[in-house]
Homo-oligomer: A and B are copies of this chain.
Amino acid sequence: MKQNNIITLTTDFGLSDPFVGIMKGVMFGINPSIKFIDISHLIEPQNIMQAYYTLKYSYKYFPSGTIHMAVVDPGVGSERRPILIESKDYFFIGPDNGIFSFIFENEPSANVIELTEKKFFLPSLSQTFHGRDIFASVAGWLSSDVKPYEFGIPINNPVILKTPEPDMGKEKISGEVIHIDRFGNLITNISETQFHSFVSERNGKAKIKIKNLTIPSLCKSYSEANRLKPSSIFNSWGLLEIFIKNGDASKKLKTKKGNRVIIAMSAKQ
């Protein structure tokens, strides 16, 4: 695969400080033809798992050859390794803390390089901002046609993030809320595939429960839902989502990330 000149950015740097602009300046200094796409800079500080989910459900929508850079990096300045990953269709640049480990679910043999070639870093490294000094600089050079192997040495033990998987039991699926979006929708880790395979092998009607509340309906669109009651839907990431029509389910149900979501069958009546 050949890199294109699109670089996406996912960070916890926020939008008030100049950190993101500085990284783009460094990259433009190396390759002024880069096209930047901001995925999110409002990842919660140090929340590697939020960045993992954000990228996991985004990266495939970009053209082949896109460079995905992610910097949520509580280990900056320590021994944690800076890495570049080359998958079948994309490049990933960031700290080796599991932020990209969804790649290995599909491509266990994706090529991982530890970034060791200092000639591709900024001349002097700070202790606190490798997004600027290492990752932006390397992304700039990668987009300029430097080959992945030139940046360092292959490694075969990247950090793998442990993410919560739903428990597929005999009697129930036990999942959890993994993300709350801008609308207050509760996104669970239960996929449409898991839901349907559970239901199709059992009798009765599926009941969806969160915090001892039974969600009455599984809708085909937000707008068909009853405005007063929480509903559920399979969302654009293929995941079960609990929502309130034109409302904020997270606030109204006082829910937070990690809350359990249960699917079980009730006897047909």
Contacts and interface: CB of A to CB of B under 8 A. Distances in A.
A128 B236 contact: yes
A45 B250 CA distance: 14
Interface stretch (A53-61, A102-110, A141-149, A153-161): A53-61
A228 B153 CA distance: 36
A35 to B, nearest CB: 7
Given A63-B28, A128-B241, A77 B16 contact: no
Contacts of A20: 38
A123 to B, nearest CB: 12
A195 to B, nearest CB: 14
Interface of A: 4, 6, 8, 10, 12-22, 24-26, 28-29, 32, 35-43, 45-46, 54-55, 57-58, 61-63, 66, 74-78, 80, 126-129, 132-133, 181-184, 219-224, 233-236, 241, 245-246, 248
